[in-house]
Structure 1
């Protein structure tokens, strides 16, 4: 009898709709995660439930209305399509599932389905290329926390990151093939931001991230650092595309305050525009599916910002979504585990 394998793909999540009530539910679950806002419990509850969510939900709902399509949330429909396509290329003894860390399809409901199948092995696969406690760490903790209560626990394999995987890199290189890089004055690699304290916590020697050459190389000391992995992804993609270092910048978007990873993407774009740069190509390799942060923040908000300071065009490189090369690449990663 052959082994039965279950694959749990995990994405971050999305509101069920752009209604304020649904956005409020999503933000509440997301921001109350202690790995996302890593401050004492009471302070987090007050900050999130009494300050951030009440004021942010109406504004975020407006942005989600811009993002929403006839098919719903791009993050959800691209991820669902990816799941179906990967299922079609994997061997028959693999079943592929999709869950969201926050909201629906919930991890509780999806893992309940998987439990009934009595798999010999489950592969937990958060779809976050670079490891961060607030994304991969939270998704893994949630999945394991549910599975630990099962009477029969199957063999588990966990994919905590794939920032350097050849299949992942190849897929982003292919996304860039539709653009003539010589037509752009500068190239940005924009990653989702994190508080500095969260990357500092990775380093067991007690020294801050800034003391570990994270921009230059992966070492035994910084191999789990989000910032180091972002820079490593950038090197791998830019080397394949022959983008000179003088023409690219690594930066971080979506910050909440000044104590987040720098340089900030918005400030970088302002500086580039004011220096005479007219056309910028933007990769966002922290995301494998287009979402609010790529389509709205980069594709719309940063375009307006750049133009208002003298620039002309911010061109987003499409994410991997459900493209066939990424489907094949993801299947290869799964089969290698």
Structure 2
């Protein structure tokens, strides 16, 4: 009898709708995660419930409404992830493998999906967070939540976890293929913009020393192999090599920061600087996101365009995320089969 295997794809999450109530619920769950805002509980509670959520909800709801309009009335993140699940399941139709998908925050909830997987009585579970580069606030949080749920089961099957895949050729190829929609030579500069993290969170990767003590901008080694900053730079080098880009043509930067103590350089400041320097056309990649979402479509595609125009630039062109590209599905299939 062949093993019965369940695969759980985990994405970050999305509000159920752009309504204030749904956005508020999403922000509370997301920002109260101690791996996202890693400060003591009562300080986090005061900050999130007393300051961030009340003031941020109306603005965020308006932005999510823009995102839903771009997604034709749906969350693009949810739509793309559902399609990835469907296409991936087709790759395993002749195998005893079932692919499920859950969101770390909100719906479909990890509790409901894992309850269904528990009832299916799998011999083996493969947990695959859809974050190419490991970070405690994304991959770490998703895995911790899954294990918190599974540990309550009386019978726990064999479990395998795929913690990152930034260097998988299929994933890299999917980004390279997306960029072929554009004439790279027609852009003044190329930006590889990754979601930001507080410096203290990458420092926590190391038992001794700090992230700044490591050559994270130039290599991945045994010490920094799970450092988000190091793997972001490594991702860029792999993409740039396939595109034949020189180091002078591009920059690695980080977006969505909350304060100055986050990983630098900041993407919005680079966009502003390039506008002031007379650059007219920018091509922007977002390789931390396998599916287009608020951070790609609205932040890069909308807000950065406005910043660039304000400072003399003309066009910030977003390269679409991997989404449901066949090479990305190849990547996920290969990861699962090897697991």
TM bin (shorter chain): over 0.9
Distance (Å, rounded) in 2 between the aligned partners of 1:22 and 1:261: 30
Q: Deviations over 1:25-60 (max 9, x none)?
A: 000000000000000111000000110001101110
2:265 matches 1:263: yes
Q: 1:78 to 1:71 in 2, by over 3 A?
A: farther
3-state SS of 2:122 partner: coil
For residue 60 of structure 2, what is the aligned residue in structure 1?
Answer: 60
For residue 132 of structure 2, what is the aligned residue in structure 1?
Answer: 129
Distance (Å, rounded) in 1 between the aligned partners of 2:187 and 2:321: 19
Asked if structure 2 preserves the Cα contact closer than 8 Å seen for 1:71 and 1:77, the reply is no
Q: Deviations over 1:282-309 (max 9, x none)?
A: 0100000000000000001101110110
Which has the larger displacement, 269-278 or 56-65? Answer: 269-278
Matching of residues 12-91 of structure 1 within 5 Å: 12-68=12-68, 69-90=71-92, 91=94
Distance (Å, rounded) in 1 between the aligned partners of 2:86 and 2:149: 24
Distance (Å, rounded) in 2 between the aligned partners of 1:321 and 1:201: 31
Distance (Å, rounded) in 1 between the aligned partners of 2:328 and 2:224: 28
3-state SS of 2:316 partner: strand
3-state SS of 1:105 partner: coil
> Deviation of residue 70 (structure 1)?
2.9
> Deviation of residue 333 (structure 1)?
1.7
Asked if structure 2 preserves the Cα contact closer than 8 Å seen for 1:167 and 1:333, the reply is no
Determine which of 246, 249, 252 is the counterpart of 1:250.
252
Q: Deviations over 1:183-224 (max 9, x none)?
A: 11110000000000000000111x121110110100111111
3-state SS of 1:62 partner: helix
Distance (Å, rounded) in 2 between the aligned partners of 1:274 and 1:244: 23
Which stretches of structure 1, 4 residues or more, deviate above 3 A after TM superposition?
Answer: none
Mark the runs of 5 or more structure 1 residues left unpaired by the alignment: none
Distance (Å, rounded) in 2 between the aligned partners of 1:135 and 1:146: 17
Distance (Å, rounded) in 1 between the aligned partners of 2:246 and 2:188: 12
> Deviation of residue 324 (structure 1)?
2.4
Distance (Å, rounded) in 2 between the aligned partners of 1:328 and 1:303: 33
Query: RMSD between aligned alpha carbons?
Result: 0.8
Which has the larger displacement, 192-201 or 173-182? Answer: 173-182
Asked if structure 2 preserves the Cα contact closer than 8 Å seen for 1:124 and 1:157, the reply is yes
> Deviation of residue 248 (structure 1)?
0.5
Distance (Å, rounded) in 1 between the aligned partners of 2:228 and 2:31: 19
Distance (Å, rounded) in 2 between the aligned partners of 1:81 and 1:113: 20
3-state SS of 2:11 partner: strand
Aligned length: 336
> Deviation of residue 177 (structure 1)?
1.3
3-state SS of 2:263 partner: coil
Distance (Å, rounded) in 2 between the aligned partners of 1:112 and 1:256: 35
For residue 334 of structure 1, what is the aligned residue in structure 2?
Answer: 336
Asked if structure 1 preserves the Cα contact closer than 8 Å seen for 2:28 and 2:53, the reply is yes
For residue 291 of structure 2, what is the aligned residue in structure 1?
Answer: 289
Distance (Å, rounded) in 1 between the aligned partners of 2:267 and 2:332: 28
Determine which of 202, 206, 220 is the counterpart of 1:203.
206
Distance (Å, rounded) in 1 between the aligned partners of 2:91 and 2:226: 31
Asked if structure 1 preserves the Cα contact closer than 8 Å seen for 2:192 and 2:286, the reply is yes
For residue 172 of structure 2, what is the aligned residue in structure 1?
Answer: 169
> Deviation of residue 325 (structure 1)?
2.5
2:124 matches 1:117: no
Asked if structure 1 preserves the Cα contact closer than 8 Å seen for 2:254 and 2:264, the reply is yes
Distance (Å, rounded) in 1 between the aligned partners of 2:167 and 2:231: 8
